[in-house]
Amino acid sequence: MIARKSPMEPSTPTLPHIQLPAEQGRRAGASAAPALPGDDFQDSDQQKPRILHLGLDWGTARTVMIASWAGETTPVHNETLPTLVGYAKDGIVENLLPGNPEVLFAQDAVRHRLHLKMAQPVVNGMMGDAKAARLFAEHLRERLPHGDHVQIRAVVGIPCGCDAQAREDFREALDSLVDGCILIPKPFLAAIGARQNPPPADVNYVDPIRNSLLVDLGAGATDVCVIQGCYPSAVEQIHICGGGDALDEHLQAGLQAAYPDIQISPLKLRELKEQSAWAGTPEARPIAELFVRGRLQRVDMTQIMGDSCHRFLEKIAQAMIQLIGSADVETAPELISNILLTGGGSKIRNICRELERLLHSRGIEQAKVRLLGEAVEGYVAVGALKASQQARENQWQLSLK
């Protein structure tokens, strides 16, 4: 198991660029970093443990892992995979699933979903099905360079506003994957990931860590966070339970209300949303060809898509207004001119302009919203790897296994 913090822990020293709170420190009573398996090897013939740094964004829909060996910057592993576990259904014909496995993961689970009972390790950004999470973590470990002499140190993105129990759930799920971990809210990691160090010559470049309001729009949740140079406090973070999946559910309900006999799978609905989700007034009316009472019919999605996106953005705007309202008056003007979006949901067309419009209409007239950068699905894991490479020995919560 991974060691828990103690209230008696000394405060944590700062990272070169990232300040972590005291709770990320070493385990209780330890006057020096605890020995890791393999630390006692003196014989030069014996293989010394090799530390693999891992940046992990374990999301509701997809997991991103980027890893590099300690002391090296070139990643040895960089992978994005669906966060899914599928158990073989009882009584399926032999060899229907290649090799007759009991459990399949990620793309394999998607490919064979017809013959599997699916389980979601992560739900609404938080740890969901504990057994599926443990199995998925084991699967991730197998995909990384591993072996007796490899120790995996992971910085892991967690949703905003995680309480002690939610953190504990993450640590437990990570136990079979890592030998040491540090948990950090995802928007903070995204800002570290997008940060350019040294800053570029471009006069328009704004350091996202300096003073920004960062929003990570995921599948299961939307995390909104004030970032002002150091690890965000609890009052600077809002977790909205619901992201792209909730938008899909709302679309489904809207379609069902307008066309009670409509037949559409969740997968098709998501595809449709990703092709045509538009915030505000769309440039062209989105028309979908869908089965209604067994017949293909052209369905005008403008109203339904518009209502769903508007509802979604209203919640995000409200969370932004709450955080802006509690920010220091000195720092608020710069904060509102630096609102940054990332995550898959930030691909909704026109989302920046529409959020700006909503904020302006609520009296926040200087609000400026833009994307954190083009690589919307990668910044959390990149930031997590950077943080892992920079963490000090006594900042790791080490596994006691």
Ligand X SMILES: Nc1ncnc2c1ncn2[C@@H]1O[C@H](COP(=O)(O)OP(=O)(O)OP(=O)(O)O)[C@@H](O)[C@H]1O
Which does residue 306 touch among Mg ion, ligand X, none (CB within 5 to 8 A, set by kind)?
none
Q: Which of residues 370-389 bind ligand X (CB under 6 A)?
A: 377
Q: Does 132 bind ligand X (CB under 6 A)?
A: no
Specify the residue, 218 or 286, whose C-beta has the smaller distance to Mg ion.
218
Q: Does 218 bind Mg ion (CB under 5 A)?
A: yes
Q: Which of residues 91-130 bind ligand X (CB under 6 A)?
A: 122, 125
Cis peptide before 7 (omega within 30 of 0): no
Specify the residue, 96 or 267, whose C-beta has the smaller distance to ligand X.
267
Q: Which one of the spans 2-10, 161-169, 217-225, 300-308 is the region binding ligand X (CB under 6 A)?
A: 217-225
Q: Does 345 bind ligand X (CB under 6 A)?
A: yes
Alpha-carbon distance of 65 to 74, in angstroms, equals: 14
Alpha-carbon distance of 372 to 342, in angstroms, equals: 6
Which does residue 344 touch among Mg ion, ligand X, none (CB within 5 to 8 A, set by kind)?
ligand X
Provide the mask over 52-81, with x wherever binding to Mg ion is found by CB under 5 A and - wherever it is not: -------x----------------------
Alpha-carbon distance of 84 to 122, in angstroms, equals: 9
Closest approach, Cβ 22 to Mg ion, in A, equals 26
Q: Does 242 bind ligand X (CB under 6 A)?
A: no
Q: Does 62 bind ligand X (CB under 6 A)?
A: yes
Closest approach, Cβ 288 to ligand X, in A, equals 14
DSSP 48: P
Q: Does 185 bind Mg ion (CB under 5 A)?
A: no
Which of 169, 210, 209, 178 has its CA nearest to residue 193?
209
Residue 36 tokens read as 């890791």
Inter-helix orientation angle 130-143/164-174, to 10°: 50
Helix, strand, coil in percent for the chain, rounding step 5: 35, 25, 40
Which of 210, 166, 221 has its CA nearest to residue 188?
210
Neighbours of 189 (CB within 10 A): 29
Q: Does 59 bind ligand X (CB under 6 A)?
A: yes
Q: Which one of the spans 97-105, 207-215, 267-275, 365-373 is the region binding ligand X (CB under 6 A)?
A: 267-275
CB 316 within 8 A of CB 216: no
Alpha-carbon distance of 44 to 377, in angstroms, equals: 43
Q: Which of residues 347-366 bind ligand X (CB under 6 A)?
A: 347-348
Specify the residue, 175 or 377, whose C-beta has the smaller distance to Mg ion.
377
Alpha-carbon distance of 187 to 184, in angstroms, equals: 9
Closest approach, Cβ 342 to ligand X, in A, equals 8
Provide the mask over 269-308, with x wherever binding to Mg ion is found by CB under 5 A and - wherever it is not: ----------------------------------------
Among 25, 86, 185, 220, binds ligand X (CB under 6 A): 220
Which does residue 62 touch among ligand X, Mg ion, none (CB within 5 to 8 A, set by kind)?
ligand X
Q: Which one of the spans 10-18, 141-149, 212-220, 299-307 is the region binding Mg ion (CB under 5 A)?
A: 212-220
Burial string for 91-102 (b: 16+ CB within 10 Å, else e) reads eeeeeebeeeee
Q: Which one of the spans 190-198, 228-236, 241-249, 254-262 is the region binding ligand X (CB under 6 A)?
A: 241-249
| 135, amino acid identity | L
Residue owning tokens 């045509």: 276
Neighbours of 144 (CB within 10 A): 18
Which does residue 239 touch among Mg ion, ligand X, none (CB within 5 to 8 A, set by kind)?
none
Which does residue 354 touch among Mg ion, ligand X, none (CB within 5 to 8 A, set by kind)?
none
- Length, in residues, of the chain: 401
CB 67 within 8 A of CB 154: no
Alpha-carbon distance of 65 to 283, in angstroms, equals: 37
Q: Does 279 bind ligand X (CB under 6 A)?
A: no
Which does residue 140 touch among Mg ion, ligand X, none (CB within 5 to 8 A, set by kind)?
none
Task: State whether residue 289 is helix, strand or coil.
Answer: strand
Q: Does 343 bind ligand X (CB under 6 A)?
A: yes
Total number of residues that touch ligand X (CB under 6 A): 23
Residue owning tokens 């890893």: 67
CB 226 within 8 A of CB 236: yes
Binding region for ligand X (CB under 6 A): 59-62, 122, 125, 218-221, 243-245, 270, 273-274, 277, 343-345, 347-348, 377
Residues near Mg ion (CB under 5 A) are 59, 218
